[in-house]
Amino acid sequence: MIFMHRNPCLAARHWAAWLLVLAGLWSLPLLAADKPVALVIGNAAYRASPLLNPVNDSRAIAAKLRALGFDVVSRENLRTNQISGVLREFRSHVKPGSVALFFYAGHGVQIKGVNYLPAVDANIQSEDDVPLQSININQLLEMLEESKTRLNLVFLDACRNNPFARSFRSAAGGLARVNAPSGTLISFATRPGSTASDGDGSHGLYTEHLLRQMDKPNVPIEQVLKGVVIGVKAASKGQQEPWMEGSLDGDFYFIGGPQLPLQVAAPAAAQPAIGEAAAFELSFWDSIKNSGNPADFQAYLAKYPQGQFAALAAARG
C-alpha cells in the first residue's frame, strides 16, 4: 500500500531531508574500531642509565604506523604514575576481532623469567621494586587475550644492558623467553638472555632495520622479521640476532597482501583435506614451533627446505 502525503511541498522537503541523511551516511569515514591499534612507547631519560635512541625509535615507528592506517597511542619517557593510564587508554581502543600492536624501545629487565619494562623514573633498590614501577609483559599479553583481538604483534627493542643489575639477586641479562598466546607474534631485538645495541646513528639497530622492512609491500610479517634478522646480524657482524616467539593463524601485511592493506587473511571456513605429506610436515612443525633449540628448526629446514613454515624456521634457526 502506498501512502500519499497531503501536502506535496512538505513531502518534497521530507524526501530531500532523507536524501541528505543518506548522503551523509555514505560519506562517513570508517569507524575507529575498524582500524588496527598500536601502543608505542620510547623510554630514554632514565636516572640510572639514560639511552640515546628510544624516543627517536618510538617517534619513527608511531609515524610509520599512522601513515599505514593504525590508530596509535604513543608515549615518550613514561613515568611510573602514567603506566596504568596508558594501558587503560590502549585497552579502550582495542576491540574484539581487531589487530593490536605494541612497540617498546628502552631498558628491559627479567626477574624469575618474567619480563618488565621499567618507567624512566623507576627507583629500583631491589628486585621487589621492579613490578611496581614497570610494565609487565605477561600482564600486557593477558590484557590483549582478554580483549579477544584477532591478532597481536609485539616488538621489543628492550634488551639493553640492565642498569639495575647490581640491585638484583639474579644476574640474568637481556629478556626471557615468553610463552606467547595463540595468535600472537613477539619479536625481540636479540636472543633471550642477550643484549642489544642502542645504535650509533639516530635509531637503535633493531628499530632501524624494522623501519626499513615495514616499507616493503606484499611481504608477510614473518618475512618482514626475517629481513630484520638478516639486516641486524650483518650490521652487528653476528653480535646481535633478533628472535621471534609465537605464531599466527593467518597472514599479516603492513602494506598490500592478497587482501586489503592492514588486514589479516583469515583461513577459509572450510579447508580441503590435506595430503599425507603435508600432514606429516604440519605435525613436524607443531612438535617444534615452541622450541628454544635452533637445531630443531634447522632439522625442519633440512627436511622441508621449501616448506610452508620455512621462512619462520630460518628466522629461528
Judge whether residue 151 has pLDDT over 80.
yes
Q: Which of 238-242, 262-266, 306-310 has the highest mean pLDDT?
A: 238-242
Query: Mean pLDDT lowest for which of 20-34, 203-217, 247-261?
Result: 20-34
Query: Mean pLDDT lowest for which of 137-151, 236-250, 270-284, 297-311?
Result: 270-284
**Tens-digit pLDDT profile for residues 165-184:** 554 444 456 688 888 888 99
Show the domains of the chain with their CATH numbers: 32-266 (3.40.50.1460), 268-317 (no CATH)
| 48 against 142, higher pLDDT | 142
Query: Please, what sign has the CA dihedral across residues 303, 305, 308, 309?
Result: positive
**Tens-digit pLDDT profile for residues 90-113:** 999 999 999 999 999 999 988 888
Q: Which 8-state DSSP code applies to residue 127?
A: G
Q: pLDDT category, 19, cuts 50, 70, 90?
A: very low
Gap between the Cα atoms of 237 and 159, Å rounded: 18
Which CA distances in Å does 65 have to 39, 60, 62, 118?
10, 9, 5, 24
Judge whether residue 29 has pLDDT over 60.
no
Helices (H), 136-219: 137-146, 205-214
Gap between the Cα atoms of 4 and 196, Å rounded: 76
Please state the rounded mean pLDDT for residues 1-28.
40
- Judging by beta carbons within 10 Å of its beta carbon (0-12, 13-18, 19+), is residue 232 exposed, middle or buried? buried
Q: pLDDT category, 14, cuts 50, 70, 90?
A: very low
Please state the rounded mean pLDDT for residues 18-46.
62
Gap between the Cα atoms of 48 and 274, Å rounded: 56
Please state the rounded mean pLDDT for residues 276-296.
70
**Tens-digit pLDDT profile for residues 152-164:** 999 999 866 666 6
